Structure 1
């Protein structure tokens, strides 16, 4: 009898708490029977927890057409690539001024690469980093390879090899991960696997996760450490953040209500692929994710990649893989591309610290 009274009391308390938690004005969210939340329009001010520089950058967003860098309005891929490089050229120049390096073009395993070293020639001869650039598996080799690599090479005193992997629309998966693995395999002739780190942002972050899944499955030793930035070990535009940031950041379109993508930014790169397979979504497979190296993951509270990043970190920790997650307050997708932000500089420092610790 006493147990029944306690149960009834707990149930009454829960029901009362639930009732109190329901919105009392018409501007609050409403909830469908299947769990769908109907969110009203609202204003999102600059975060008081972000840096002054970040708030100033946010204020400038009104002058930039939303989604300009990720739209597919220019259908010809070569024109689109040239257009994006022109847009990114001031940022590349800024990075070169802040982080002096030497840049040489070359080939490894028949694949075009860019070799980046500190300007003073002082770098660790026994350790090397591989960069897999961002750009939705379609664009940004010329620009993103530099924007992502320069600060890490200069600050960390590393030699970095950035890979010009095959992209869409000319190619399909697994072209990119095959190229990354070919370069990695060649580097094993000169470096120990535990002394090779791999990192990338956006598509390059996703490709880093793919490579970490690909190597053990294809008889190659695992890399020493990974950096998955602006991405996760599951497909892009999955989870809550894809929907939320489509409305709060606007750089990327959100999925349709049924979860399908209205715009394929990869231009068919994954056509014919199972996006849940162990290479494309290793975080969905416990036996694959447990083989990952120590991993640093970065995202932002206004980044569409936040959910994949958080989920991947959780799965790595569950698998007893060392993982560090950095979520930049009020930061958008691949915020490290802007070196003027203290949050970006913190991310560079964390990246250098991560590879120094785990490539030892």
Structure 2
């Protein structure tokens, strides 16, 4: 990536309207307007339901095989939807040549923790009950959706369900105690967040709940028995340590984990394939990881 591309993306993000968590309704509207983009050409999108929740299904024209991804969008558990993430999810579907179902899980503060985990676990359970092999399922998510993906794996493990083939995590928010050193060290370098932003999302999601609870902060949990993980992050984000510490904990617990950090890039840079070449590179990396994960799980 050229220095000019980095600088242009940084300026775009710094100047973008911020979704302030003062009025939840306005924050959701602002975020929806900011990420008003469609899936790429060649990817069909249809409305569906999964475990009683709305969802969007993304199917590329050249879809290969029956494997699929359950996608969990970001937004601090408060804002966002499958539609705000249609460009990112559709681009991953296109590059991986795979069907993706993006779940519209319940949001806080109307539905606080653990509602999102309950919805994601119910969706995964319904896929299994419908006859889809766990070896043909992967989870993926960005930001809060990345943390939610790991929490869903933990909840599935606790429920005695088989593990999926793997999980792809884009800049996952995995430590709601907000104790990662990068939250302070990357202040100013991060063009999107300040600590107060994270605190606002956390308050809406957890209320008076324990931020160190395993399903709230999976980076602090026992990750033994989880499937292979791919963790991607940018070096300029406040939540960098959420990725680094999650990967370290996973490795210590015997999980096959790959961590890749792109220098000079920000939170969920994979959204911006039209602006920085590394965004497409990261999605191609995720596509290769998924293909390998499915093959490995099927052969096990």
The TM-score normalised by the length of structure 1 is 0.76
- Counterparts of 1:293 and 1:141 in 2: how far apart (Å)? 26
Of 33, 37, 45, 1:86 maps to 33
Judge conservation of contact 1:335–1:344 (CA < 8 Å) in 2. yes
Of 132, 155, 158, 2:95 maps to 155
Q: For residue 56 of structure 1, what is the aligned residue in structure 2? A: 8
Judge conservation of contact 2:48–2:55 (CA < 8 Å) in 1. yes
Provide, for residues 39-63 of structure 1, a one-character-per-residue CA deviation record: whole Å limited to 9, x for no partner: xxxxxxxxxx75542233234456x
Q: For residue 333 of structure 1, what is the aligned residue in structure 2? A: 267
- Counterparts of 1:234 and 1:154 in 2: how far apart (Å)? 31
Task: Give the deviation of 1:236 after TM superposition.
Answer: 6.6
- Counterparts of 1:154 and 1:223 in 2: how far apart (Å)? 21
Q: Does residue 324 of structure 1 match 2:226?
A: no
Give the 3 Å change call, closer, same or farther, for CA 70–292 of structure 1 in structure 2: farther
Give the 3 Å change call, closer, same or farther, for CA 278–79 of structure 1 in structure 2: closer
Provide, for residues 275-308 of structure 1, a one-character-per-residue CA deviation record: whole Å limited to 9, x for no partner: 21222223323xx311211000011111111011
Judge conservation of contact 1:85–1:142 (CA < 8 Å) in 2. no
More relative contact order, 1 or 2 (CA 8 Å, 6+ apart):
2
Structure 2: stretches of 5+ with no match in the other structure:
296-300
Superposed CA RMSD: 2.1
Provide, for residues 101-156 of structure 1, a one-character-per-residue CA deviation record: whole Å limited to 9, x for no partner: 111111122111111101x2x32342110100011111110543313311111111
Q: Does residue 106 of structure 1 match 2:51?
A: no
Give the 3 Å change call, closer, same or farther, for CA 318–140 of structure 1 in structure 2: same
Judge conservation of contact 1:224–1:358 (CA < 8 Å) in 2. yes
Q: For residue 359 of structure 1, what is the aligned residue in structure 2? A: 294
Task: Give the deviation of 1:215 after TM superposition.
Answer: 0.6
The TM-score normalised by the length of structure 2 is 0.90
The SS at the match of 2:141 is strand
Judge conservation of contact 1:132–1:145 (CA < 8 Å) in 2. no
Provide, for residues 148-194 of structure 1, a one-character-per-residue CA deviation record: whole Å limited to 9, x for no partner: 31111111111100000000121111100111111111111231112
The SS at the match of 2:259 is strand
The SS at the match of 1:82 is helix
Provide, for residues 22-71 of structure 1, a one-character-per-residue CA deviation record: whole Å limited to 9, x for no partner: xxxxxxxxxxxxxxxxxxxxxxxxxxx75542233234456x15xx3342
Q: Does residue 128 of structure 1 match 2:64?
A: no
Provide, for residues 181-212 of structure 1, a one-character-per-residue CA deviation record: whole Å limited to 9, x for no partner: 11111111231112110011111011011111
Pairs aligned (count): 293
Judge conservation of contact 2:270–2:282 (CA < 8 Å) in 1. yes
Provide, for residues 242-292 of structure 1, a one-character-per-residue CA deviation record: whole Å limited to 9, x for no partner: 11222222421226xxxxx8841245211232221222223323xx31121
Q: Which has the larger radius of gyration?
A: 1
Provide, for residues 328-355 of structure 1, a one-character-per-residue CA deviation record: whole Å limited to 9, x for no partner: 1111111111112111011101110111
Structure 1: stretches of 5+ with no match in the other structure:
1-48, 256-260
Of 2, 5, 18, 1:69 maps to 18
